[in-house]
Amino acid sequence: MRQGWRTGAAWLAGAILALGGQAAAQQLRLPPDLAYAKAEGSPGNVIFSHQFHVPVSEKCTACHVTLFRMLTPTRTVTHVEMEAGRSCGACHNDRMAFGPTDAAGCGRCHVGEGRSSREPGTGANARVAASHETPAPH
Amino acid sequence: MKGAILFDSTKCIGCEACVAACKEKHDLPAAIDPKLTAYTWTVVEQRNKAFVRRLCMHCESPTCVSVCPVEAFRKEPSGPVVYDASRCIGCRYCIMACPFDVPKYQWDRTTPIVQKCNMCADRIAVGKEPACAAVCPTGATIFGDRDQLIGEARVRLKAAPTTYVPHIYGLEEVGGTSVLMLSSVPFPSLGIRPDLPVTPLPTLTWKALSKVPDVVVVGGALLYGIWWITNRRIRVQEALAQEAAKKG
Ligand code: SF4
Ligand code: SF4
Ligand code: SF4
């Protein structure tokens, strides 16, 4: 319940902060965009952007480590999971954030190959690349 | 190299990525306790508009190591102070002796062990930085050689004397620690003890106590104690073996 509340509050804060926070997020050392492998029948790869989502919450714990692991983010996301309120579905459920029935269609998440070409790639390598295990820049 | 962590409170945004990474690394329950517990080895507290991390300070001369009668605690040359549950007899001297109130006991378990941050010693051993340092998005928590980090801390203090209070916490406290801290507000207002001596604490504790003759521990009490300790060690070992088997 507490998690639900937190995520909800985080989303509200995010809706307000999304633009202003974007600039602040730029200075953070965040993992590169995460390209999820395309499952059979999927309309296109889903590319997750930390840059875009970080302004939604002040705390990384809104998603980590209850919804997503950070050191070994090898998981895939399925719509079945999402419907059960797990992974992306904890927020992207048509209530807190747009969900699978969004009028704009699947393309809001499934941005597909066109965009993934600018990303670190697809499949296993991309997921490793998106780990928080980036070499320390210090 | 002697590994150390430099925590710079002025850079910390309280995002708790460090807490989450610690949870994942050590397979701890995801729920974050507000204070250090056996299941939450690091927390980020907000005090006087600043954020401060709590974790084991990895003392250079650790009191926990010196009071432990069975050497379950050990200071590694690479920096971390580590704990070996299979040696522990559950006496909890470490918990009482730590000046930073760090080691915590699994009070809710039938075969409890002591738990605390171990600086991710296994990661350090393979050349990785601790999980918390690996994920910190601001550089508030960084890992490196202790001497180099002290140098880095001095550079920061010199470059921004108006930002920082002119002190590297852990440089000398209790004989030095392998977690160093910088802050813009006085350390006591972060809830960090200002009253610790710069000399190591251990000299007063177990090694001195152990010289006291055992006459106070007599007969049945002693035998019972030995039984309890032996029995507990067996049960802890069983529990550890079971957990290991579960993990495969
Ligand atoms: S902070 Fe406490 S537990 Fe950590 S090394 Fe020092 S005495 Fe031991
Ligand atoms: S060094 Fe490792 S064990 Fe200690 S707080 Fe960081 S992640 Fe946790
Ligand atoms: S990850 Fe870094 S910035 Fe975030 S709370 Fe921990 S120390 Fe502070």
Q: How many domains does chain B have?
A: 2
The alpha-carbon gap from A102 to the nearest alpha carbon of chain B, in Å, equals 30
Q: Which residues from B are below 8 Å from A64, CB to CB? A: 17, 20-21, 24
| Residue range B186-193: mean pLDDT, rounded | 94
Q: Answer whether B24 sits within 8 Å of A69, measured CB to CB.
A: yes
**Mean of all residue pLDDT scores within chain A:** 71
Give the whole-angstrom CA distance, residue A17 versus residue A98.
17
- Asked, for residue A135, whether it belongs to a domain, the answer is no
- Asked, for residue A134, whether it belongs to a domain, the answer is no
Q: Answer whether B17 sits within 8 Å of A132, measured CB to CB.
A: yes
Same domain, B182 and B223: no
Q: Which residues from A are below 8 Å from B15, CB to CB? A: 58-61
The alpha-carbon gap from A28 to the nearest alpha carbon of chain B, in Å, equals 5
What is the model's pLDDT at position A3?
A: 45
Rg of chain A in Å (alpha carbons): 15
The two structure tokens encoding residue A16: 């307000």
Same domain, B18 and B39: yes
Nearest CA in chain A to B44: A59
**Mean of all residue pLDDT scores within chain B:** 90
The alpha-carbon gap from B207 to the nearest alpha carbon of chain A, in Å, equals 41
Same domain, B138 and B234: no
Same domain, B191 and B79: yes
Q: How many domains does chain A have?
A: 1
- Asked whether the whole model's pTM tops 0.90, one would answer no
The two structure tokens encoding residue B230: 């032996």
Nearest residue, CB atoms, B23 vs list A30, A65, A136: A65
The closest residue, in CA terms, to atom 4 on ligand 1 is: B56
**A23–chain B Cβ distance below 8 A for any pair:** no
Residue A15 has pLDDT above 50, yes or no: no
Give residue A70's identity as a one-letter amino acid code. M
A109-127: pLDDT as tens digits? 998 764 533 333 333 334 4
B210-241: pLDDT as tens digits? 544 444 445 556 656 666 676 677 777 777 77
Give the whole-angstrom CA distance, residue A2 versus residue A13.
16
| Residue range B45-64: mean pLDDT, rounded | 96
CATH number of the structural domain spanning residue A26: 3.90.10.10
For residue B91, report the distance from its CA to the centre of ligand 3, in Å. Answer: 34
Cis peptide, bond prior to residue B155, ω within 30 of zero = no
- Asked, for residue B206, whether it belongs to a domain, the answer is no
- Residues sharing a CB contact under 8 Å with residue A71, sequence separation 6 or more, in sequence order: A131, A132, A133, B21, B24, B25, B131, B134, B135
B23-27, B66-70, B241-245: segment of lowest average pLDDT: B241-245
- Asked, for residue A37, whether it belongs to a domain, the answer is yes
Same domain, B219 and B97: no
> What is the rounded end-to-end Cα distance, in angstroms, of chain B?
33
Residue B82 has pLDDT above 50, yes or no: yes
A126: which strand partners? Answer: none
Spatial contact of B33 and B41, defined as CB atoms under 8 Å apart: no
A86-95, A128-137, B105-114, B229-238: segment of lowest average pLDDT: A128-137
B53: which strand partners? Answer: B44
For residue A68, report the distance from its CA to the centre of ligand 2, in Å. Answer: 19
What is the model's pLDDT at position A59?
A: 94
Share of chain B above pLDDT 70, in %: 88
- Asked, for residue B81, whether it belongs to a domain, the answer is yes
- Asked, for residue A114, whether it belongs to a domain, the answer is yes
Q: Answer whether A29 sits within 8 Å of B139, measured CB to CB.
A: yes
B182: which strand partners? Answer: B8
Give the whole-angstrom CA distance, residue A13 versus residue A42.
31
A13 backbone dihedrals φ, ψ, rounded to 5°: -60, -40
Give residue B3's identity as a one-letter amino acid code. G
A56: containing domain: 2-125
CA B243 to chain centre: 23
Tell which of A70, A128, A131 to mutate to test the B interface (max B CBs under 10 Å).
Answer: A70
B228: containing domain: 211-247
The two structure tokens encoding residue A66: 């209850």
Same domain, B237 and B191: no
Give the whole-angstrom CA distance, residue B69 versus residue B96.
13
Query: Does the beta carbon of B136 lie inside 6 Å of ligand 3?
Result: yes
Same domain, B141 and B40: yes
A100 backbone dihedrals φ, ψ, rounded to 5°: -60, -25
DSSP state letters, A39-90: PTT-SS-BEE-HHHHGGG-S-GGGTTTTT--SS-------HHHHHTT-GGGG
Same domain, B122 and B68: yes
Same domain, B110 and B220: no
For residue B25, report the distance from its CA to the centre of ligand 2, in Å. Answer: 8
Same domain, B81 and B122: yes
